Amino acid sequence: MQSYKKRDNSVDSFIFGPSGLRGIVGKTLSPEIVLKFASAFGEYCKSGANASRDKIILGRDSRKSGEMLWHTVVSGLLSCGCQIIDIGICPTPTVGIAVKMKKADGGIVITSSHNPIEWNGLKFFSKDGTFLNPEQNKKFFNLIDKKRDYKPWNRLGKLYFENRWDEIHIKKIINLRYIDLNKIRKKNFKVVLDCNNGAGSLYAPYLLKSLGCEVVELFCDLTKNFSHPPEPQARNLKRLIQEVEKKKADIGFAIDPDVDRLAIVSEKGIPLGEEYTLALATDFILSKRKGDVVTNFSTSQVIDDIAKKYNAKVHRTKVGEIYVAQKLKKLKGIIGGEGNGGVILPEFHPVRDALLGMALILQHLAENNLPISELVKKFPFYFMVKKAIKLGKNFENRLERLKRRYKGIRISQIDGLKIEFKDSWVQIRKSNTEPIVRIFAEARSKGKAEGLVRNVIKSLI
Ligand code: MG
């Protein structure tokens, strides 16, 4: 893996890494940069064994800047002679599914996922419908500044539109062997849904209605801007929490702008935290079949407790869903994802999918015949504290100093620095998508987790 998370050392430049390209529109993410990346991706997809094929799937989230970027990406791809199938505003996983089903050579989603509204970016899919892996990313990045083979007027690409992908994606979920449509429909779950006016605004109500749910739509209007900061964390979900209580709903769902992260609010109006999304999905899948689980080093140890119950093994990777997807493929794992609310079911599609997560959790609820708060009570409870600080100049030196201080304690350096105690841990890692350092800690008590984070921050600033 080469270290090109940032183009240079300045913190205000665009960011390129395992999650694609990201920047602030009008500042670090200019049409020139987007054109460079889009045309390089066109070249990348045309290189190698599939030189004669050049079909790219294109989608975007609902950010207003998406329109400007869309024209730039289309222009870049057409100029290289690519055939584009545009599937409109859609979840990120839908593009992955479309790449695979249409046997395309690649895919681009115009999104910056959970970043604030001023951000946007591009996520790149390889022809197998997963994000580019580190080797592919390296090969692609090497093309950015190379001379382009721009085509003459009679060899330019062509743009096609397809708009039935909500139906295809949702049918694929409903047809999963784990989903008993009659069982879920009989429950007639009342669900409050917060899409934050993101790309899920059309897909998610459609799925829930297909599952026989009574849906209370909160912020499901694509024409509007985000109603709250986009990360589906408890502090941003006040309206959802209120509405679940007010409407006496069975569950509240919040999804991020490109629909790969899912957070749950219990029927009591208590946010469960994103960690419990993957925990619930894992508990459900492991109750159906035996197999390995893959997640990243930042994910709660509740996954280990659940896996233990079913005699399953948990494998950990670096943060970044491509690493989880790659390990799932290599080990033939049956369920995986990330503690930020991202669920991957490889037999469905090897990309995090919030729609899939909703369906699995509703099926789990229907089969257990328990309120969500009771279902979660079966798991050991951990407090996780997640903090972020700005990436300082002396970060690496200070990290080394911190490491020396914990000499003798179990330390893992596969992803940043993770210090593991008996039933608690703290992890320090640079973000792949923003110029910040994330500090996560987990312990049996809130005070202990906060203390771990506090001590680390003191050493780093
Ligand atoms: Mg996302």
CA of 152 to the centre of ligand 1 (A): 37
Q: Is the pLDDT of residue 4 over 60?
A: no
Contact 208, 358 (CB under 8 A): yes
% of the chain at pLDDT higher than 70: 96
Residue 19 banded pLDDT, cuts 50, 70, 90: confident
CA of 218 to the centre of ligand 1 (A): 19
CA of 277 to the centre of ligand 1 (A): 14
Confidence at residue 48, expressed as pLDDT on a 0 to 100 scale? 54
Contact 40, 144 (CB under 8 A): yes
pTM of structure: 0.92
Report the distance separating Cα 135 and Cα 122, nearest Å: 18
CA of 115 to the centre of ligand 1 (A): 8
CA of 309 to the centre of ligand 1 (A): 30
**Residue 113 annotated in active site:** yes
Confidence at residue 10, expressed as pLDDT on a 0 to 100 scale? 46
Confidence at residue 400, expressed as pLDDT on a 0 to 100 scale? 87
Q: Looking at residues 297-324, what average pLDDT do you find?
A: 94
Q: Is the pLDDT of residue 203 over 60?
A: yes
More confident call, 324 vs 412: 324
CA of 146 to the centre of ligand 1 (A): 30
pLDDT tens figures, 92-102: 999 999 999 99
CA of 52 to the centre of ligand 1 (A): 32
The mean predicted confidence, pLDDT, of the chain is 92
Confidence at residue 422, expressed as pLDDT on a 0 to 100 scale? 85
CA of 244 to the centre of ligand 1 (A): 23
Q: Looking at residues 226-242, what average pLDDT do you find?
A: 95
CA of 397 to the centre of ligand 1 (A): 32
One of 19, 39, 112, 113 is an active-site residue; which one? Answer: 113
Domains in the chain and their CATH numbers? Answer: 2-163 (3.40.120.10), 168-376 (3.40.120.10), 383-460 (3.30.310.50)
